[in-house]
């Protein structure tokens, strides 16, 4: 992976030209970079929306890191595990295209806020049901059939909203939010893995807790107001598959 990253980096450096006009470019030195970071972290709305991705990545990493234990140890899928597991990225890939159309119809905020509400409701409900014992496999799978498209919707919408006011430092903002979401998601996912106790309850409960954390960020970003209309029509392309 390191060699592949090096090749891609060199190829990009050599073959991908800068698209900004010279007068709009920022110098590459420590002072300018530090100033860009300052702009990103001090924009309250953008920063809060930017760190929502860390909570969503935490759910995904936790889902992946406990998948084999749940599907093989609890549900006894055995050799069928790769099929059940492989369907999850397929669902997310299809959802990314559908979600883009929904966003164009209803707007970033309404779709994103609704999606995070769905994730909370689904995982809280399934966590309570699982207290009586592992639900049937099909019922367990339904939770992810609902949650995965909602997670994709949160990635698409909050990612766009986090970048909305940071056009002048878009590259720096993307780097900051990417680092936060990757590191934060890995740590959250590791925590979920450590909570595994032979049941599905900790996974659903942790997913619900992470979604509540994401909702708290959204509420702070929007001063407590949810489902507001966007200021202007949006054009959103399908996001890269987060899984």
How far is 41 from 162, CA to CA, in rounded Å?
A: 11
Residue 195's alpha-carbon distances to 65, 202, 243, in angstroms, are 11, 6, 22
Into which CATH architecture does domain 32-221 fall? Answer: Up-down Bundle (1.20)
* 112-128 residue pLDDT tens: 999 999 999 999 999 99
Whole-number Å distance between alpha carbons of 168 and 19: 14
Prediction pTM value:
0.81
Q: Is the dihedral of CA 216, 221, 224, 225 positive or negative?
A: negative
pLDDT at 229: 77
Domain residue ranges of the chain, discontinuous segments joined by +? 32-221
CB 194 within 8 A of CB 102: no
- Start-to-end CA span in the chain (Å): 17
How far apart CA 125 and CA 142 sit, in angstroms, is 12
User: For the chain, which ranges sit under pLDDT 50?
Assistant: 234-235, 237-238
What integer pLDDT is reported at residue 242 of this predicted model? 57
pLDDT on residue 231: 67
pLDDT, residue 80, reads: 87
């Amino acid at each position: 992976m390191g060699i592949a990253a090096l090749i891609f980096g060199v190829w990009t450096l050599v073959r991908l030209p800068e698209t900004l006009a010279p007068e709009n470019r920022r110098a590459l030195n420590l002072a300018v970079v530090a100033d860009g970071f300052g702009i990103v972290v001090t924009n309250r709305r953008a920063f809060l929306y930017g760190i929502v991705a860390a909570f969503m990545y935490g759910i995904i990493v936790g889902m992946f890191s406990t998948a084999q234990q749940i599907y093989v140890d609890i549900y006894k899928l055995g050799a069928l595990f790769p099929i059940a597991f492989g369907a999850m990225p397929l669902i997310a890939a299809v959802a990314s295209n559908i979600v883009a159309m929904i966003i164009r119809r209803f707007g970033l905020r309404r779709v994103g806020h609704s999606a995070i509400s769905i994730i909370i409701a689904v995982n809280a409900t399934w966590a309570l049901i699982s207290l009586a014992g592992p639900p049937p496999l099909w019922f367990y799978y339904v939770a992810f059939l609902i949650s995965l498209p909602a997670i994709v919707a949160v990635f698409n919408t909050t990612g766009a909203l986090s970048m909305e006011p940071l056009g002048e430092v878009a590259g720096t903002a993307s780097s900051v939010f990417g680092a936060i979401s990757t590191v934060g998601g890995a740590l959250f996912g590791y925590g979920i893995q450590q909570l595994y106790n032979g049941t599905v309850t900790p996974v659903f409960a942790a997913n619900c807790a992470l979604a509540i954390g994401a909702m708290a960020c959204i509420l702070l970003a929007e001063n407590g107001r949810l489902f507001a209309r966007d200021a202007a029509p949006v054009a959103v392309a399908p996001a890269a598959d987060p899984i």
